[in-house]
A and B are shown apart, each in its own frame.
Chain A
Amino acid sequence: MGLKGWFGGGKQTSQEYTIDDLIVLERYDEAEERLRTKLKGSPQDLHSHLKLAEVYTQLRQYGKAVDEYGFVADEYAGDGFYDKGLALLSKAAKLAPLDPSLRARLDRLQREKALEHSRTLALEGLRQAGGQQAGTSALELGRLWHHLAEGTLVQHLPGDQLKRLFSNMKLSHLKEPDQVVAQEGSQEAFLLLLVSGVLEAEIPVAGGKAMGVRSFTSGDIVGEGVLLERTAWPANYRVSEPLTALRLTREGLEQSLVGNPDPRGFLEALREQHNDRDVAAAVRRLRAGG
């Protein structure tokens, strides 16, 4: 066999190039086809999705590129890699600067990222709140957090403050329906952060009946006026649906404030819902009207 015959290696086909090669060579149509075929076999191959996004970008099919980046961003965020997800959504936002949904997704991911940091610390606090003594599993603690995560307190207090607060609270399960946890006019100083269930604020009316003023559920705080402003409970608070709540007493509050780097912010977060004040105002209105 002559040496000349060896040169060239025979007819080349594009199939011999890798997908990366095709991208480097700017043969984007072929790269897209190969990537789509590959993704049919392994739809969760994130690297291929990213390459496909890049290919769509080069082909000026920005809508498809945004979809690919968004998909991978969600997958990363789902696995806790928020920074990666944010970087990809930012990339997508550059391709579609007028798409408001991308801005919303970026904001949501930012919130989730901040929450993830809080979550770790808050779970430590919840564990100390009595979860462990009550035989609460990590899964159960996760459920408690899930209920609390959407509440304003969790949204506004940083993780270390949440840990400080939760570790000085006591987890209570109030399963008996109609159990009254606080009497109108009482000055028993405690605050409840509702985890799940329903608590009804109501006032007695003629005929031994009760009139509902307001219902409270996950994330709501009641008793903040009693604990922080030394006011009286503005209504009767009755368990309407089996309740799980975190209870903070004066002693727990004092413990939370010892060495607290931001006591003012801490107290402000506890009172910002102003539920006691609102209930008191509603009661006044109802009674004035009646």
Chain B
Amino acid sequence: MSILAIRLYPDPVLRSPARPVAELGPELARLVADMIETMHAAPGIGLAAPQVGVARQVAVVDLSVGKDPSALHVLVNPRVVERHGLATEVEGCLSLPGISDKVDRPERIRLAALDGEGQPFELAAEGWLARAICHEVDHLAGVLFIDHLRGLRRERARRQLKRLVAEEVAV
């Protein structure tokens, strides 16, 4: 296992819609293991494959950040099939370091996906788990949480992104 480099905004892979995974095998298993390790090391509660430069529909979510193995979810070709309610919380993203803002997300969702072994499953999630899943599923469509911001919040995020890009160039 190894820790992968997390792609930062404005890496084009973050804006590229990820392709569905057609073939499950050792490569996918290795990618998933690396993503889990990368997520825990960051530390983060979710990571999508485009964030490590892989434009495939794979994401991992773990609200316990490695403390509770049962909290780990591996999502392959995930689809949110139901959305209910609305909740607003502050979100951040490993690909947008230093930027966070309030984002509206469904309060509860139902997700359909494949697990790491390619077995289909459905998951009912609410609260932060629902939020984290929606955030990662967005990544797979090339959508970032800042795209959900409107008005002044969006303008502020844009200014922060400019600074972020400038810092990256400086580095």
A22→B31 CA distance, assembly (Å): 31
| B158 A12 Cβ-Cβ under 8 A | no
A6 engages B54 (CB within 8 Å): yes
Q: How many A-B residue pairs have CB under 8 A?
A: 61
Contact mask B7-30 → A, CB, 8 Å, 1/0?
000101101111000110101001
**Contact between A24 and B161, CB atoms less than 8 A apart:** yes
> Quick check: B165 and A24 within 8 Å, CB to CB?
yes
A1 to B31, CA, bound (A): 12
Question: Considering only CB atoms, which chain A residue lies closest to B12 in the complex?
Answer: A12
**A6-B55, A20-B158, A24-B161 are known contacts. Are A12 and B16 too (CB-CB below 8 A)?**
yes
Interface size of A in residues (CB-CB distance below 8 Å): 18
Contact flags A14-31 to B (C-beta < 8 A → 1, else 0):
001110110111000000
Q: Which residues of B contact A7 (CB under 8 A)?
A: 53-54
Minimum C-beta distance from A49 to chain B (A):
14
Tell which of A1, A8, A17, A23 touches B15, judged by Cβ atoms closer than 8 Å. Answer: A17
Chain A contacts of B147 at CB under 8 A?
Answer: 18, 20
Q: A16-B12, A18-B15, A24-B158 are in contact. Are A9 and B27 (CB under 8 A)?
A: no
Tell me which residues from 118 to 153 in chain B have a Cβ below 8 Å from any Cβ of chain A.
142, 146-147, 151
Once the chains are docked, how many angstroms separate the CA of A20 from the CA of B18? Answer: 21
**Which A-chain residue is minimally distant from B53 (CB atoms)?**
A7
User: When the two chains form their complex, are residues A17 and B12 in contact, meaning their CB atoms are under 8 A apart?
Assistant: yes
Min C-beta distance of A68 to chain B, whole Å = 15
Taken together as a complex, chains A and B put the C-alpha atoms of A10 and B56 apart, in Å, by 11
The number of chain B residues touching the other chain, given as a range, is 20 to 34
Q: How far is the CA of A2 from the CA of B27 in the complex (A)?
A: 6
User: Which of B27, B151, B161, B165 is A3 in contact with, Cβ under 8 Å?
Assistant: B27
Q: Is B154 an interface residue (CB 8 A)?
A: yes
Which residues from B are CB-within-8-Å of A3? Answer: 27, 30-31, 54
Minimum Cβ distance to chain B for residue A173 (Å): 47
Q: Are B16 and A16 in contact (CB under 8 A)?
A: yes
Q: Does B78 contact A (CB under 8 A)?
A: no
Q: Does B116 count as interface, using CB distance less than 8 angstroms? A: no
Binding site for A on B (CB under 8 A): 10, 12-13, 15-18, 22-23, 25, 27, 30-31, 49-50, 53-56, 142, 146-147, 151, 154, 158, 161-162, 165
Q: Which residues of A contact B (CB under 8 A)?
A: 1-3, 6-10, 12, 16-18, 20-21, 23-25, 47
Can you offer 17 A-B residue contacts whose CB atoms are under 8 A?
A1-B25, A1-B27, A2-B27, A6-B56, A7-B54, A8-B13, A9-B50, A9-B54, A10-B55, A12-B13, A16-B12, A17-B12, A20-B147, A20-B158, A21-B161, A25-B165, A47-B151
